[in-house]
Every structure is written in C-alpha cells, then in structure tokens.
Amino acid sequence: MCTYNGEKYIRQQLDSILQQTYPIHEIIINDDLSTDGTVDKSSLMMIYQQTELLI
C-alpha cells in the first residue's frame, strides 16, 4: 500500500485489509517521505504482532 502523511488512517487501512476473507501473508507499505510518523515500523509491529503478518 502507498501512503503519504497518513498516520491518522494507517491503522484503519491495515485493519480493513486484515478483515478481508483472502489470506494475507505480507503487506508492503511504501511511504513517500511522510513527515508525520506514518510508518513508525516499531509501532506497527507492536500493534500487529499478534497476527502472523510480516510488516
């Protein structure tokens, strides 16, 4: 997924993707130099560590 300054919505987007019926094994997040902490990898990994998803 592509993002730019989407910190406010990234969790909603990821949750929506994970709720799909098709199995998801990997999500690639491409960030275009956001300045708002959109892709703070450590935070995303902590939030989604309960899934078997590779972020």
Express each pLDDT in 3-17 by its tens digit: 899 888 988 988 898
> Using CA atoms, how far apart are residues 28 and 44, in angstroms rounded to an integer?
12
With tokens 């902590």, the residue in question is 46
Q: What is the pLDDT of residue 16?
A: 92
Question: Could you tell me the two tokens for 28?
Answer: 């690639």
> Using CA atoms, how far apart are residues 29 and 14, in angstroms rounded to an integer?
10
Q: Which residues contact 32 (CB under 8 A, 6 or more apart)?
A: 2, 3, 4
Phi then psi for residue 53, to 5 deg, are: -85, 140
Residue of higher predicted confidence among 12 and 37: 12
pLDDT tens, residue by residue, 15-25 = 898 888 988 87
What's the whole-model pTM score?
Answer: 0.70
